[in-house]
Amino acid sequence: MISTIYTRQKGFHIPRTPLFQSCDKQFKSSSGNSNNLERPGAIATCGFEDIPLPAQTALASQNSGHEQSLSLFKLQPQSSVSMSHTLSQQLRIREGGIIFEYYDVTIYRGDLDNLRDRQWLNDNNISFVYEFLTHELISPEAETIGSTSLLGGLGVGEEVKLLKPAMVCLLASYADPCDLRDVLPPLVTSKFIFLPINDTNGVAMSGTGDPSGSHWSLLMVSVNDTKSFYYDTSLDRSGEGGNIPQARHVTEQLSKLLDVNLTFITVNTPQQTNSDDCGILVCEISALLLKRLVKAAEDENKAIDLGLEGVTLLATAGRSFITAAILQLITIYKERKG
């Protein structure tokens, strides 16, 4: 839990007299109880529940003429193998590697193969998800698929930033991160920053590690609270390992860039059961935490829970959601061009 709250007058901020006691270890008070925080019971989630798929928002803003074609790709309880087969059928007539462009992200044929079960997500997969979440929940315009951005609509879209993996890599590799202030998205007004961490972050400086990367994790920074919360789905029993060295390095770089002293906190995170799901779980945790910020912005003066206690992450469901979103976007863009 953090001290930051949301009010319509000030957006995300820490009140002069904090309403909640901030505590870092497992987000628990010394008595073992959460402070003024209503925690849900154990939940199983892919993080994307309640986030509209493109067809839902497009159909809400248009006539139902496209409903028949779009309904083919509504998210159903089916395996990602089935979803990938449907996607492959739709793309047979497409030549070349580029499938379509979504704002600043270009989707390639190889990116789609990564969405199958037991496949490793690359940086472009995560970039697409971050672009999708930005335009669904953060950006004030969100015009392309007819959606209404929740945080943008509340006037606090500029206070939440999702940095894509390439930006995080740049931040990690620069000797003086302050030189990146005109290169990275403006972070001066940011209150929360999401940063996907790869085990190659900082490799150029250290000269060690596999340059191709093999593990993803997540930093979520609460600037007001000067805390850097770290989520890693592949730690050892002592809570070490994973990408902790890289995440600490990125935290130090961001501290210099923001001119604040960020405290690094490792959050108790559900652990993956294979070596392939780290990327999709980073996307799911990002979506889950982002929805909590939306909820806090809808309900003023409420504590913001950044913990994952009692959460089970459903990797296959997350892969299916992203595949369904891409299927629908391809159909929508094809109809518009046609």
- Residue 40: both structure tokens together: 């849900």
Choice among 4-18, 94-108, 134-148 with the minimum mean pLDDT: 134-148
The mean per-residue pLDDT over the stretch 224-233 comes to 97
Of 164, 157, 159, 207, the closest CA to residue 183 belongs to 164
- Residue 156: both structure tokens together: 């606090």
Q: Are strands 216-222 and 192-198 parallel, antiparallel or unpaired?
A: antiparallel
Q: What is the Cα 30 distance to its own chain's centre? A: 31
CB atoms within 10 A of CB 44: 11
Our CA angle for 57, 44, 271, nearest 5°, is 115
* Dihedral over Cα of 57, 63, 64, 66: its sign: negative
Per the CB < 8 A criterion, the answer to whether 151 and 135 are in contact is no
Domains held by the chain: number: 1
- Residue 290 phi/psi, 5-degree rounding, is -65, -40
Of 78, 130, 64, 76, the closest CA to residue 102 belongs to 130
Q: Looking at residue 1, what is its pLDDT?
A: 66
94: containing domain: 5-30+37-337
pLDDT digits (tens, 9 = 90+) for 243-296: 999 999 999 999 999 999 999 999 999 999 999 999 999 999 999 999 999 888
CATH number where 282 lies: 3.40.395.10
pLDDT digits (tens, 9 = 90+) for 297-324: 888 888 899 999 999 999 999 999 999 9
Strand partners, 231: 218
